[in-house]
Amino acid sequence: MDRVIIFDTTLRDGEQAAGGTLNVQEKLEIARQLEKLGVDVIEAGFPASSPGDFESVSLIAKEIRNSSVCALTHANFKAIDRAWDAIKEAARPRIHIFLSASDIHLVHQLKKTREEVMKMACDSVARARGYTSDIEFSPMDASRTEPKYLYQILEAVIEAGASTVNIPDTVGYAVPAEFGALIRGIFQNVRNISKAVVSVHCHNDLGLAVANTLEAIRCGARQAECTINGIGERAGNASLEEIVMTLQTRRDLFDLCTGIDTKQIYRTSRLVSDLTGFPVQPNKAIVGANAFSHESGIHQDGVIKMPITYEIIDPRTVGVPSSSLVLGKLSGRHAFKQRLSELGYSLGEEDLNKAFAAFKELADKKKNITDRDIESLVAEERRTVSEEYHLDRLQVTCGDQGLPMAGVRLFRPGTNEYIEGASLGTGPVDAVYKAINLCVEQPNTLTEFTVKSVTEGIDALGEVLIRIESGGVTYTGRGADTDIIVSSAKAYINALNRLLSARKIGEIK
C-alpha cells in the first residue's frame, strides 16, 4: 500500500509554542518516545538558533537509530554548516532549509527580489547537498505565494538536489479545496516533481490544519508534517494523532498507510503534555479525556450492545489504558510494576523503587489509585531528575486571622547543601513563593497559575501548573501532591530548575 511519511516537528515547531520550552533531557525523552511511536522523521530543532538547540539536536542525532533526524536551518551557509554539525552522527540525517517565498514576506520582511531569493534557495540546497542527499526545502508562506513563482522555485531547488519539497501554509490561511488545488497544480506544473517527495506543513489558525493536510494527501502529497497534540506556533500545527487515525479509520477512502504504532499514541500525547505543560483539552479528538466517554443514555446503551454503534475507534487501538484495575494500599510491587507496564512505562530498577515508594505514600492518603494517579506519580518522579533545587521541607500556617507564614528548606544535590528561608505572604502560596525566592534568588514574574485535581474525590492528587517569565522567556513548572500548597511549591521549584538549566547552557530561545 502507498505510504505517507510522518514528519514530526513537536521538538521544533511544537516547542515554538509560547511557554513550551523544553530542556535537553526532556527533548531527548520525547525523541525516544517518537521513535517508539514509529515516526519516519523527527525534526529535532534549529541548531543555529541557540546553543541549547544545538546540544539537544546533537544528542538526539547520536541516539536515535530508527527515525531520520532532521535539523532546520535558514538559507545561509553558516546556519547550514551548523545544522550539519549537529546531525552528522545521525543514522539518517536530514537538513531542512526554509526561505520565504511570498511577495508579502519578500517585500516587507526579507527586502529581496524573487530572483535573489531563487538564487539563495539554490545555493543553499547545493551547499547542503555537499553533506547529505536527504535535503528538504520549504518555501515559507507557500500558500500565499504566486503559484507560478512557487513552481519555478520548486523546480530549481529539485534541480539543485532537494529530495523533499515542503509546502507550508505558514499562517494557516488556506482552506482545503484551495490547498488541494495548489498541490495538484504543483504536480501538473513542476517538470521534475517526480524526483522529490511532496510534503505539507499546515498551521491551525483557522482550525483547518488537519483538514488541509488530508486534502493535500488526497491530491498526492506523501509527507505530512505534524506535532503531537497539535502544539505549535500560535494556534498550533496539524495534529499527528488526528492525521494518522483518519488515514487508518478511513482507509476505505484514502487507501494509504503510515509506519505509526498507533498503540503508542496516547502515551506520547501524555508525555508531551506533561513535559511541555500544555494540557490536552478534554474534547480533543483521539487523545482528549472525553474522546471515548459516552454520556448520553442512548449512546451508552448502544456501546454496551455493540461498540461500533457509537465508537468509530476502539480506544485500545491508540493505547488508551482500560481503567478497570484500581490499585490501593494493599497492592504490592508486582501489581504496581505490571500496571506501569500496561500504561507503557518501563522504568529501571532505581526509578521503579522511587515510583513504588511514592505510590505507597500516596496510597496511605488516598484509597483508590487510578491510572491517572500513576501517570501523575511517574511524571512527578521524572521532574525531580537533574534538579538544581529540591523541595526538602515545607511548613505553612494560615487561616482567616493574621498573615500566612511559610518556612521552606531546599536541598541542592549538586553541592549537598540545605538552604532555608521563611516569609510572610498575602496567602499561603504567596508566602511559600517568597520563602523560595529568598533561597533561590532568581528574579521572575509569575504569569500563570492553575490548580486541577487529577481525579475526582476529596483525597485526589492536586496538580499545579505555573508559568514564570524571566528575561523575556517563559518557563513552565508542574507539581503534584495531595496537598495543593506542596504541589504549588513543587511546581515553582520545577519552573525555577528549568530556568536555571537554560541559563547554565546559555539557552536563549
- Kindly list the residues in this chain that would bind Zn ion in the complex (CB under 5 A): 13
Residues 336 and 415: their CA atoms lie apart, in Å, by: 34
Whether the Cβ atoms of residue 399 and residue 427 lie closer than 8 Å to each other: no
Q: Supply the minimum distance, in Å, between the C-beta of residue 170 and Zn ion.
A: 6
The one of Zn ion, ligand KIV, none whose footprint includes residue 140, by CB under 5 to 8 A per kind, is ligand KIV
Closest-by-Cβ residue to Zn ion is 13
Query: What is the β-pairing status of strands 2-3 and 256-257?
Result: parallel
* Residue of 486, 435, 494, 429 lying closest to 467 (CA atoms): 494
Candidate ranges 164-172, 284-292, 301-309, 377-385; the one touching ligand KIV (CB under 6 A)? 164-172
Does residue 98 touch ligand KIV according to CB under 6 A?
yes
Measure Cα distances from 238 to 195, 212, 329 in Å.
26, 9, 42
Q: Which of 140, 200, 377, 484 binds ligand KIV (CB under 6 A)?
A: 140
Site for ligand KIV (CB under 6 A): how many residues? 9
Tell me the residue type at 398.
Answer: C
Q: Supply the minimum distance, in Å, between the C-beta of residue 99 and ligand KIV.
A: 9
Whether the Cβ atoms of residue 238 and residue 206 lie closer than 8 Å to each other: no
Does residue 170 touch ligand KIV according to CB under 6 A?
yes
* Residue of 119, 132, 107 lying closest to 76 (CA atoms): 119
Cell of 135: 535535503
Query: Could you tell me how far CA 445 lies from the centroid of its own chain?
Result: 24
Does residue 138 touch ligand KIV according to CB under 6 A?
yes
The one of ligand KIV, Zn ion, none whose footprint includes residue 258, by CB under 5 to 8 A per kind, is none
Q: Supply the minimum distance, in Å, between the C-beta of residue 138 and Zn ion.
A: 9
The one of ligand KIV, Zn ion, none whose footprint includes residue 408, by CB under 5 to 8 A per kind, is none
Q: Supply the minimum distance, in Å, between the C-beta of residue 7 and Zn ion.
A: 11
Q: Supply the minimum distance, in Å, between the C-beta of residue 66 and ligand KIV.
A: 24
* Helical axes 371-383 vs 333-342, angle rounded to 10°: 90
Does residue 388 touch ligand KIV according to CB under 6 A?
no
For Zn ion, the closer CB: 209 or 275 = 209
Q: Supply the minimum distance, in Å, between the C-beta of residue 171 and ligand KIV.
A: 8
For ligand KIV, the closer CB: 226 or 485 = 226
DSSP 307: G
Q: Where are the beta strands (DSSP E) in 60-175?
A: 68-74, 93-100, 135-140, 164-169
Strand partners, 168: 201
For ligand KIV, the closer CB: 14 or 52 = 14
CB count in 10 Å sphere of residue 145: 25
Hey, which residues between 184 and 213 contact ligand KIV (CB under 6 A)? 201, 203
CB count in 10 Å sphere of residue 413: 12
Does residue 168 touch ligand KIV according to CB under 6 A?
yes
Summarize as ranges the residues that interact with ligand KIV (CB under 6 A): 13, 98, 138, 140, 166, 168, 170, 201, 203
